[in-house]
Structure formats: C-alpha cells, structure tokens
Amino acid sequence: MQQVMFSWLVVGELRASAEWVGIVQTSSMLPALLLLPLGGAVADRFDPRSLLIRLHVIAALPPLVLAWVVSQGWLSIPGLVVYGMAMGTVMAFSIPARDSLLSRVAGSDLMRAVTATTIAQFGSQAVGTLLAGAARWTGTPLMLCLQAATLASGAITTAGVPRRSAEAAATKRPHAALESRSDGAALTEGLRFVLGSDIRGVLILLCGVGLLFMGPFLVVFPLLVRDLYGGDERHLSVVLMLFPIGTIAGSFVLLARGGIQRKGRALLIALSVGASMLVIIGQGLPFWGFLLATLCWGMAGAVFMNCSRTLFQQAAPAERRARVLSVYQLGFMGAGPLGALLAGGVAASAGPLPTLIAFGSGMLLLVAGVAVATRVPTLR
C-alpha cells in the first residue's frame, strides 16, 4: 500500500518533478543505509519476536499522522520526506528481526520456507497495491488509516511465532554480554562475515539491485504512468501489482520443482532477464506491453530473491544470524537511496525511457563482471 500511496502523493497529488520524486523516495530508503547494522545487532541481542511486536505497533503511527495531514490539506514535500524517514527507520529495525525469525519456524527445508515466505510477502504486496488503487474513490486519508491498521495487526500475528527456547536464551545471554564491551565491532560483524565468505559476490549483486533496479521501479515507473501513458493511481497500482504477482507465480514454480540446486547460476540468469525487461520497456511499449514486461520482471525476481535469501540464511551462523541477514537488506536497500536519486536525475535530463535502457544495460554489465570475477556461479 505504501508503494502506491507514497509514490502517487508525490507524483499525482503534488505533481513533483523527476528530481523531487527521486529525493522523496530516497528519504524512505536512507535510514536503511544508516541503521540496518544497528537493527541486526539489536535483534541478535534481544528476542526478535518481542521486538517485532513492538515495532508493528510503532509502524502504525506515521500513516495515521500522514492521514491527518492530508485531510487538513497540509501535504507538502518536506512532510513526505519526514514520513518516509520515519517509516524507513522502523523498517531498518523490523526487517532483521523478521528475517531472523524464519529459521525458528523453517524446519529442515530452508529454501522451501524462504520460497513460501516470499509468496506470502508478495501476495500481501499485490493485495496492498490493489487496495491502494481504490484511494481514487475512498480518498487518501481512509487508505492511510487502513494501512496503519494492517501494520498494527502484524503485532497480533507475530505473537503467534514460537517463543525462543530456554536453551537458546541461555546461550545467547553470555554472547550478548560479551558484545556489550565492543558495540562498534558488533555493528560491523555481520558485514565482516559476509565479506570474508563466498556470498560476498551475492552482496555485490544485491547492491546492484538497489542501485540499478529500485530507482527505475520507484521513480521511473510512476513517471511513465503519469507522463507517457497519462494514467492515475489506478494505473500505477496495476503496474506495481504485477511485479509481486510475477514473483508469486515464479515462487510457486520453484515450490513445485522442489527448489534450485545451482542457486548462484540461477540468480545470475534471473538478474539478466530482469535487466533485459527494463531495456525492452525502454523501447516505448504500449501499456499492455509495459504490464507484460513488468510481470516477466517479477517472475525473474522470484528466482533471484529466493536463491539469494536462501544463500544468506544457509551461511549465517545462529549467534550472528540477524546481523548477517541485515547485511542482505543493507545491500538490497543501502544502495537504493543513491539509485533513486540517480534515476530521478537521469530521467529529468534524458527522459524516463532512456533511463530504463541505461540502468538495464548497467545491470547486464554488472552480472557479467560478477560471473567472471567471483564464485557466485558455483554456489548451491
């Protein structure tokens, strides 16, 4: 819901330029760059289940405030920047806590659990984007209130996650006490672990996704809907909904075939397909072609997300799991602010379509470099 509402408030309600669209989208991603390592350290030190319950309640507050601001006619760029930073801060602490809980309920087949989680996550995203498109009839404040209620309900569902066992808590307390004497080292331990392992090549690709994929999706796609296709929030919700639908479809295929053995090679191919879709969209397709290419991009994204998340989950030691998994999100979202700014600047000077071609071509070059220079193609 936030993807559609936040984007349309900037593009549709305030009629912001491409540069300002990039700046506002950056505000929601910037906290991840600064706070994800801290979020991982906090989730390792305390029970992530209890932490996540509190964070769901806190996350409901910014949409409620924004709903009141919009209802009073006070919507502005600075206000959206503050809202974006507030939501981004909550995400920086909630994502490592959420991801670290997966191993508590995953069972023996980790990739199957990751894939099922992806289906649930992107299924909810598809429903959320569809609901947000109804803001045309219900009004923005009501949709923001519904978003707040949905976020708060996550506290109830998280309460159903099994509590940490007494044995795990007992082994974690000495570890936490040891870390308290070296907080700086604790914040960087996850990054140092990843850089010293074979998954560092996957981290490079994650940074590439943040830099070269998130900008086109969050900045250029809304501009295309408004300026090239003359659409409104309904059209934007359909476009943004098709990516998660593609991800769901691709994840179901992965479940049906029992996962992927050569995960590294598969995620390289998936990124190449996604990059090719951007280049194709950049040719100026009719709207139905734009939708179809976005759907295909989402299906390729299913392979990349499931394989990369599984590789990180497999590599993460139990006592440092949240910190290692926070590096996954740091790579994915840390480069996002720069990608959004870059996409907004390039779109303002060269136009949205050449921007998509340039970013897609850049990803193809990055994939080729990682395939040649790292061990990613051999990861299983």
CA neighbours within 13 Å on the CB side: how many for 75?
Answer: 19
Q: Which fold has domain 2-158+190-378?
A: Growth Hormone; Chain: A; (1.20.1250)
For residue 256 the two structure tokens come to 């049906």
Per-residue pLDDT, 167? 42
Question: Are the CB atoms for 141 and 57 separated by under 8 Å?
Answer: no
- Hey, is 317 helix, strand or coil? coil
Cα separations in angstroms, 336 against 64, 135, 149, 225: 26, 27, 27, 21
pLDDT of residue 30: 78
User: What CA dihedral angle connects 129, 351, 360 and 251, to 10 degrees?
Assistant: 10
Q: Are 3 and 240 in contact (CB under 8 A)?
A: yes
SS3 180: coil
Task: Tell me how far apart the terminal alpha carbons of the chain are, to the nearest angstrom.
Answer: 35
In angstroms, rounded to a whole number, what is the distance separating the alpha carbons of residues 346 and 343? 5
Q: Give the pTM.
A: 0.67
In the structure encoding, which two tokens stand for residue 186, read together?
């604790």
The residue type found at 7 is S
Count of CB atoms situated within 10 Å of the CB of 130 = 17
Distance, CA of 55 to chain centre: 17
Identify how many contiguous H helices and E strands the chain contains and give both numbers: 20, 0
CB 63 within 8 A of CB 135: no
- d(Cα 79, Cα 61) in Å, to the nearest integer? 14
Q: What is the per-residue DSSP string for 123-175? A: HHHHHHHHHHHTHHHH-HHHHHHHHHHHHHHHHHHHTTSPPPPHHHHHHHHHH
Closest CA to 132 of 122, 121, 146, 119: 146
* Each residue's pLDDT expressed in tens, for the chain with a length of 380 residues: 877 777 778 877 788 777 777 778 777 777 877 787 788 778 878 888 889 999 999 999 999 999 999 888 888 888 888 998 999 899 888 888 887 787 777 666 677 777 787 788 878 877 887 787 777 777 788 889 999 999 999 999 888 887 766 445 544 444 443 344 444 555 577 778 888 788 888 888 988 988 898 888 888 888 888 888 887 777 887 888 888 888 888 888 887 777 788 888 998 999 999 999 999 999 988 999 999 999 999 999 889 888 888 888 788 777 777 777 778 877 777 777 788 888 888 888 888 899 999 999 999 999 999 999 888 888 88
Q: Residue 141, by phi and psi: left (phi above 0), alpha (psi -120 to 50) or beta?
A: alpha
**217 vs 220: CA distance, rounded Å:** 6
pLDDT at 184: 55
Q: Are 330 and 209 in contact (CB under 8 A)?
A: no
Number of neighbours of residue 184 by Cβ within 10 angstroms: 7
**Residues across the chain:** 380
